Amino acid sequence: MTDPVQSFKKFREMINKEVYSEPDTDMHTRLISTIVPDLIKRPDGPKPGQKIVDIGCGSGLVFDKLVENGFDKKDLIGLTMAGVDRATVERKGYECHPYDMSFTEFENETFDYGIVRHCLEHSAWPYMTLMEFNRIMKTGGRMYIEMPAPDGDRKLEHFQNHYSVMGQNMWGSLMIRAGFEYSSNTYDLKISTKDGSAQYKEPYHWYVITKIVDRSEYKPATGKYMEELVKEMAEFNKKNSPK
């Protein structure tokens, strides 16, 4: 007979060994240099003084750009399971933790804002991960999420450590079940080979999600409860919309 606890433990051990440190690329460095200043300008973007977590922070390039724009290092907390990246982030003077994004050790309702760039597709259990995001975010807190869209030319679904390359409808449904309202759009990017001989279509989806409902009670998201969630989100927006 299979022991579900042992199977779960073995599965986590297996996927943890599939984690890798992704080197900074010119494309992502350029994207961060454009996206972060634009995000700060948005009404639903991060603001100085907020407690901000970067989940899957890599070498800390997003933090560097936030600091350039007036954010204080003490308010910025990183999360990465890649030891090389964590060491780099800590050398820069940022706080950083080696947590699995689905099982962090942060206190409930710790953060005002979260940034999750090219990390959520690495979750083997995306619904659980979003529930964990709900736990650590304050009610009304927001997260900017960016990840590859499915069916790009490079078939990122098959890349190592990519488990959840899904479309906006499925991600949006999971976000609602996890207590978040969301808006979403697409970056239609093309990636060139090093020699410039070919280009690949590689769209990225982005989301800004807002925690509307606390899901710490883990109430099953039945059809009826989904209707209740949508009503609560509408009521939250009514109360918090600009006068």
- What structural domains does the chain harbor? 21-240 (3.40.50.150)
With 0.85 as the threshold, say if the pTM is over it. Answer: yes
pLDDT value at residue 53:
98
Give me the average pLDDT of each 10-residue run along the chain (243 residues).
90 91 80 92 96 96 97 98 94 97 97 97 97 98 97 92 95 95 90 76 94 94 85 79 58
3-state secondary structure of 193: coil
Q: What is the pLDDT of residue 76?
A: 98
Instruction: Determine the Cα–Cα distance for residues 43 and 211; give it in Å rounded to an integer.
Output: 16
Residue-level pLDDT at 242: 56
pLDDT at 241: 64
Q: Are 98 and 86 in contact, with CB atoms under 8 Å apart?
A: yes
**Cα separation, 108 vs 151, whole angstroms:** 36
Q: What b/e string do you get for 44-62 counting C-beta neighbours within 10 Å, with b at 16 or more?
A: ebbeeebbbbbbbbbbbbb
Answer yes or no: are the C-beta atoms of 229 and 177 closer than 8 Å: yes
- Cα(83)–Cα(80) distance, rounded to whole angstroms? 8
pLDDT value at position 243?
Answer: 53
Look at residue 73 in the predicted model and tell me its pLDDT. Answer: 97
- CA dihedral 22→24→27→32, nearest 10 degrees, is 110
